[in-house]
Amino acid sequence: MRAALGRAWRGLLPLLPARSCCYAGAGRRRRLVRPLPRRSWLSTMAQFGTEPRGRPHSPEYRLYFKNAEGKYISPFHDIPLFAGSKEDKEVPAKRSKTNGSEVVFNMVVEVPRWSNAKMEIATKEPLNPIKQDIKRGKLRYVANIFPHKGYIWNYGALPQTWEDPHHKDKDTGCCGDNDPIDVCEIGTKVHSLGEIIQVKVLGVMALIDEGETDWKIIAISVDDPEAQKIHDIDDVKKHKPGYLEATAEWFRFYKVPDDKPENQFAFNGEFKDKDFAVEIIKSTHEYWKALLHKKADRGAIKCMNVLVHDSPFCCSEEDARLIVQSTPPPARGDSVSAEVDVCNTSGLYTVAGFNFQPSCITK
């Protein structure tokens, strides 16, 4: 059991910073990979800010987004999918930032690593602020499943993507989950709630969550010291041994303490490579375009935006400002219940082939 747990932990331990350059590939056909220019990514990060409303750790809390001009925007619809793109209506891939063959995407951080609060883009509210999910009338916190504390990556979403609930995927046989596509950022830094970071995609896994396809993109921040040596899913296995196994275990068991069955996976739980993942992202971007132009059934999703000018849902700056001002002003937050740092111990779980009672580590 110790050996199995050791393998799960190795993928989660911080590694030493990468050198200023490294070689990718094997044998004589290695290529020199130089660091990505930091200045361009920092300038992109500076384009966006956030404004909290209401009391943190309460049902009324919301985190709204602004662009560099101070306009309130939707993180779902107005932040470009491709890093370096202009805030325009199409955001084509050909104008995205690349490092060789690597396309760089913007990611909205919804849940910082090691935290438990299930924060998410509110797709059914105007301007789509981040809020905490509510289940059975209570704020939702994910349970600590041994040996993990909260989320084991920086978790979030790619803007301008949508998993269409009316489209059945040919590989999974299930329809989309009606949300932006999810991202697990596996770098060394703990990012902040609402932070916009630039990531390169490494692979993807297909979670089947209550009969819906729920893609999980595996990515790493371009500014991470390990980004220069991790370019695809096989590099994750090499440089972060145990991390992908821990990721699969986390997604399989995280709802069990809420009296739900284990989650299942398409492809027998296999992680697909970068090229496969990029194609999935492109398809969800196309579904989002249809959503914003009334070519798809949006249901209860709010498509109000400020920057997609040819969308029938585009609103004025003043309309966006009035929406934010109609919400409760910022206030001091409530304390988080101590139960959040306590593991569920009511059931027996199987992880890495062993049965045991759950435990956890604390912050």
Largest CA distance in the chain: 63
For residue 139, pLDDT over 70 is answered with yes
Rounded Cα–Cα distance for residues 238 and 233 (Å) = 9
What pTM, to 2 d.p., does this model score? 0.81
Report how many helices (DSSP H) and strands (DSSP E) the chain contains, helices first.
6, 18
**pLDDT tens, position by position, 259-301:** 889 999 999 999 999 999 999 999 999 999 999 999 999 999 9
β-pair type (182-185, 212-221): parallel
Contact 183, 155 (CB under 8 A): yes
Scan for tokens 């489209």, then name that residue: 167
Contact 35, 21 (CB under 8 A): yes
How much of the chain exceeds pLDDT 90, in percent? 69
In 3D space, the residue among 232, 183, 200 whose CA is nearest the CA of residue 35 turns out to be 200
Scan for tokens 């996976």, then name that residue: 265
**pLDDT tens, position by position, 181-238:** 999 999 999 999 999 999 999 999 999 988 999 999 999 999 999 999 999 999 999 9
